[in-house]
């Protein structure tokens, strides 16, 4: 990450409200225009393409028979017409590549290992681009559905003019972090999001929830927030610590949930896993520690 982008993100983290693009910049280091551009220019990996250095100029028409797709009655052929220019490295369909090499019209520029690496990188980049575009759509939908509060009316203006409240965005991210697939995003940007915002500023509470469902949702927020801070300080903590620690037991008691409605161990384990993702730490391997007083 460039120093300029880092400085921009640090400055944004201190604000109380963000434009739609500023929120995207904090999440992914990209604006809506940049995400749209990447989506339109990032193609899925093409295992049937070879990159050849042309020794001669050739004009060719080709047709590739695609595999049968589920739900499709007929196979579809992919056709094309292209001039392959001497001296250029050109993407050539595999169906033509063998002929080009055999007739010495071109030379292969990739080894098998290099081709596998390229396809892996293309697949990763394509997945990341699709994930970022999906997040942008989800963020936009959350604003329109009033899951994220704004300082201005959104139904009469484009997304570029929206002003999103900081705490509302952070709460939405906290509640949807796993579904948002933030693992696709740059680690250094993710660290700014986590360290400067999610961990440093508790999400403001609304009125005390009345229903058991609302109480459980509030308990989940409080539990994950506290567990994340704990794991940031002590990454080796295991579930047994959270289960027996008095402060975490008090969080559950203070939720005022009836005994038969309180979260089971399996639910608490899932919350701890979410906290690990937020804290960006992996569970330790080995025998769990049992001296809980030393860890508090």
Residue 147 has pLDDT above 70, yes or no: yes
Q: How far is CA 157 from CA 18, 135, 170, in A?
A: 15, 20, 23
Query: Rounded to whole angstroms, how far apart are CA atoms 282 and 170?
Result: 23
Least confident span in 2-16, 49-63, 157-171, 210-224: 2-16
DSSP per position, 16-75: SEEEHHHHHHHHHS--HHHHHHHHHH-PPP-TTEEEEEESS-EEEEEEEEPPPPTT-SS-
Residue 42 has pLDDT above 50, yes or no: yes
Taking only the tens place, the pLDDT of each residue in 228-278 is: 888 888 888 989 999 999 889 988 988 889 989 999 999 999 999 888 887
Within 13 Å and on the Cβ side, how many CA atoms surround 63? 4
Query: Rounded to whole angstroms, how far apart are CA atoms 265 and 269?
Result: 6
Q: What is the pLDDT of residue 293?
A: 40
Name the burial class of residue 213, with classes exposed (0-12), middle (13-18) and buried (19+) by CB atoms within 10 angstroms of its CB.
Answer: exposed
Domain assignment present for residue 10? The answer is no
Domain assignment present for residue 2? The answer is no
Q: Encoding tokens for residue 174?
A: 């906290």
Taking only the tens place, the pLDDT of each residue in 22-36 is: 888 887 778 899 999
How far, rounded to the nearest angstrom, does the alpha carbon of residue 229 sit from its chain's CA centroid? 21
pTM, whole model, 2 decimals? 0.55
Instruction: Report DSSP state, residue 260.
Output: G
Query: Reduced to 3 DSSP states, what percent helix, strand and coil does the chain have, rounded to the nearest 5?
Result: 55, 10, 35
Domain assignment present for residue 266? The answer is yes
Domain assignment present for residue 189? The answer is no
Domain assignment present for residue 50? The answer is no
Q: What is the pLDDT of residue 30?
A: 83
Q: How many domains does the chain have?
A: 1
Residue 277 lies in domain? 212-295
Q: How far is CA 230 from CA 172, 175, 264, in A?
A: 21, 19, 21
Q: What is the pLDDT of residue 73?
A: 52
How far, rounded to the nearest angstrom, does the alpha carbon of residue 248 sit from its chain's CA centroid? 29
Domain assignment present for residue 33? The answer is no
Instruction: Report DSSP state, residue 204.
Output: P
Domain assignment present for residue 227? The answer is yes
């Amino acid at each position: 990450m460039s120093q300029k982008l880092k400085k921009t993100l640090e400055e944004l983290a201190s604000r109380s409200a963000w434009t739609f693009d500023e929120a995207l910049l904090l999440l992914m280091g990209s604006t809506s225009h940049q995400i749209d551009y990447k989506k339109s220019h990032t193609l899925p990996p093409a295992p049937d393409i070879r990159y050849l250095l042309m020794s001669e100029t050739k004009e060719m028409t080709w047709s590739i028979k695609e595999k049968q797709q589920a739900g499709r009655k007929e196979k579809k052929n992919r056709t094309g017409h292209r001039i392959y220019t001497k001296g250029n490295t050109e993407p050539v369909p595999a169906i033509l590549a063998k002929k080009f090499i055999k007739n010495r019209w071109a030379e292969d520029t990739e080894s098998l290992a290099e081709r596998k690496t390229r396809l892996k990188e293309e697949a990763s980049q394509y997945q990341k681009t699709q994930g970022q575009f999906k997040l942008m759509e989800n963020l936009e939908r959350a604003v329109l559905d009033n899951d994220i509060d704004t300082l201005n009316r959104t139904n009469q203006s484009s997304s570029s003019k929206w002003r999103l409240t900081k705490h509302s965005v952070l709460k939405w991210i906290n509640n949807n972090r796993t579904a948002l697939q933030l693992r696709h995003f740059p680690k250094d940007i993710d660290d700014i999001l986590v360290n400067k915002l999610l961990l440093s500023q508790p999400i403001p509470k609304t009125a005390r929830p009345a229903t058991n469902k609302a109480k459980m949702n509030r308990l989940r927020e409080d539990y994950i927030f506290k567990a994340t801070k704990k794991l940031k300080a002590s990454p080796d903590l295991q579930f047994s610590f959270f289960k027996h620690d008095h402060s975490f037991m008090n969080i559950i008691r203070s939720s005022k949930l009836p005994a038969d409605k309180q979260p089971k161990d399996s639910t608490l384990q899932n919350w701890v896993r979410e906290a690990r993702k937020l804290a960006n730490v992996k569970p330790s391997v080995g025998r769990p520690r049992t001296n809980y007083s030393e860890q508090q």
